[in-house]
Amino acid sequence: MDLSNKRISVTGGAGFLGSFLLERLHARNCGEIFVPRREDYDLTTERGVADFYSDARPDVVIHLAAEVGGIGANRDNPGRYFYANMAMSLHLIEHARINGIEKFVQTGTICAYPCHTPVPFAEENLWNGYPEPTNAPYGVAKKAAQVMLDGYRRQYGLAGCYLLPVNLYGPRDNFDPHSSHVIPALIRKCVEACDSGSDHIECWGTGSASREFLYVEDAAEGIVRATEVMDEPTPINLGTCMEITIKDLVELIARLTGFQGEIRWDPTKPDGQPRRCLDTSRARELLDWEAGTGFEEGLRETIDWYRAHRESIR
């Protein structure tokens, strides 16, 4: 699909990943891009979705919008996270059919994988068990959209694609201590500890869980590439194939920020899913895509951005 002559709408386009996705679309000379704002369209309601489609008249919808947070936020909002994410996908896909759009792009979540998925995670294991309980409501809601897209493809001919980006990080991330994910939360902890002269930081869990992280610009390129070449919602992982324990991650971020104090672990807090590391061979085969940003390089860029902007995001 040549995106330069399409009307493209990006839900969540004003957010972290969305801002980089818009840059990638502009680089492909996409002239008509519409970003629905929350204050104008409540995409968790059918009325809001219908108004959005009526105003934007898109050829392609890239659905990034989500209500989500870290382990604490998922623990505190299981009902809301299921409802909001399920409702958005449900209404957006149904009205994509009603309006006859050309393609619907759905971003899923690695939280959808079963709690004890064999490592590295392969897409064919997506339904072989229940997700990690802390974030299961969010994960189940997001992967139910893949089933809906598959059904709509087979019954109505709606072209679509379904992507599973691993944990994202990078400049412009959410650094709010109440809702941020692990990398921005740790960067903020370490930078603030350096600034205040604190002799320690506190971290949740035991540090034994592992994660994989994808630089946000690489994720944006993968999503645009899938929009161009995919017509069926085959689940596709977007990641780096690099696994790191939370303990090693904390130590790395401490070193890169210059924090030299003690790291104290609180084992009464949850670790979340035991391991996350993706098999990304399908993305290479179907999208001709792979991540290009080294992990330390991406972390340095993120730390530098936070230090330059932290006064405006306190």
- On the question of a cis peptide bond just before residue 235, with omega within 30 degrees of 0, the verdict is no
CA angle 268, 269, 270 (to 5 degrees): 120
Catalytically annotated residues: 138
In 138-294, beta strands by DSSP E = 159-165, 167-169, 200-204, 210-211, 213-215, 235-238, 244-245, 262-266
Buried b vs exposed e over 12-40: b needs ≥16 C-beta within 10 Å? bbebbbbbbbbebbeeeebeebbbbeeee
252 phi, psi to nearest 5 deg: -65, -45
Radius of gyration of the chain (CA): 19
